[in-house]
Amino acid sequence: MAILEVKNLNKYYIQGKYKNHILKNITMSVNEGDFLGIIGPSGSGKTTLLYCLSSLETIDNGEISLDGQNINNLTDSLVSELRQKHLGFIFQFYNLVPNLTAYENVLLASVIAGKNDEDKINELFALVGMSEYRDYYPNELSGGMQQRIAIARALVNTPRILFADEPTGNLDQKKGKEIMDLLEKLNKDENLTIILVTHNEDYLKYCNKTINLIDGEFIDNK
C-alpha cells in the first residue's frame, strides 16, 4: 500500500526578481517498507523535494497524501504534530544540540512529542550501538557516532517514514557504510520506510527504488 503519494507537485523559490521553478510536476509513490534512493546533481532540488515531502516546506501546487490522507490543507499545528509523530529526519551535519548530552538530545525529541519514553530511548541506544556514550556531548563524539545519535533521535517517536538527506555526506567511506548498513537493518528488520538523498551511486544498491532528479524533474526512474 502507498504510504506516501505525490501528484503534480510544483515548487518555486523567489530570488530577488526571479521566480525559480525548482520542482517540476513531481509525481511519485512510496510503499510501506520501501527504501527509496534519490540521486541527482547539486542544485537539482533533492533537499527541496525532501523538505516538501515532509512538510518542512510548503508547496505551490500539487497533492501530497500520507497514508491516504491529503496533508496539503492541514493547519500549521496539525502539520507540526504530523511531523513529530510520523516523520523522522537525519541530516548531513547531524544537527544535534551541542549543549545537551547524547541522551538528552534523544530525550528532547521524545518530550517535544509529549512523551518521555525511557525504555524506548535505551532500546534505541542499544540498536545504534551507542549505549556506552549516552552521557557524552556531541563534540566528544566522532561524526559517525553523532550520526548514530541523530538516527536514534529520528526514531524515538516511531516514525512511519525516515527521511535522510545525505546522511553519510560528511563521513569517511567506512563510517558511511556503517550508517548505510544500519539504515538497511532498520528497513529490513523493522520494515521502516526510508527516503534517502545521496550523492553516492554505490549506495543505491541498498535501495529497492531509485529516482534520478535532474533540474527539478525525474529522469529514468527505476
Ligand X SMILES: Nc1ncnc2c1ncn2[C@@H]1O[C@H](COP(=O)(O)OP(=O)(O)OP(=O)(O)O)[C@@H](O)[C@H]1O
Span from 46-54, 60-68, 153-161, 181-189 in contact with ligand X (CB under 6 A): 46-54
Q: How far is the CB of 146 from Mg ion (least distance, A)?
A: 19
Q: Which stretch binds ligand X (CB under 6 A): 28-36, 41-49, 61-69, 187-195?
A: 41-49
* Whole-angstrom distance, CA of residue 200 vs CA of residue 179: 13
Within positions 28 to 57, which residues make up the interface with Mg ion, using CB under 5 A? 46-47
Closest distance to Mg ion from the beta carbon of 45 (Å): 8
Beta carbon nearer to Mg ion, 44 or 55: 44
For residue 69, state whether it binds ligand X (rule: CB under 6 A). Answer: no
Round to whole Å and give the CA distance between 82 and 55.
Answer: 9
93 lies in the site for ligand X, by CB under 6 A: no
Residues 6+ apart with CB under 8 A from 173: none
SS (H, E, C) 164-180: EECCCCCCCHHHHHHHH
Nearer to Mg ion, 86 or 199 (CB): 199
The β-bridge partners of 213 are: 218
Which residue minimizes CB distance to Mg ion? 47
Cell of residue 54, nine digits? 515532509
* Per rule CB under 6 A, count of chain residues that contact ligand X: 11
Kindly report each contact of residues 50-57 with a partner whose C-beta sits within 8 Å and lies 24 or more positions away, as own/partner: 50/163, 50/165, 50/195, 50/197, 52/9, 52/11, 52/23, 53/4, 53/6, 53/163, 53/195, 54/83, 54/87, 54/89, 54/161, 54/163, 55/79, 55/82, 55/83, 55/87, 56/83, 57/11
According to the binding rule CB under 6 A, does residue 44 interact with ligand X?
yes
Asked if residue 9 binds ligand X (CB under 6 A), the reply is no
Residue 77 binding partner per list Mg ion, ligand X, none, with a CB distance cut-off of 5 to 8 Å that depends on partner kind: none
Q: Which of 3, 48, 53, 159 binds ligand X (CB under 6 A)?
A: 48
Q: Out of 42, 69, 75, 77, which residue is the one contacting ligand X (CB under 6 A)? A: 42
- Indicate the residue among 39 and 179 with the shorter CB distance to ligand X: 39
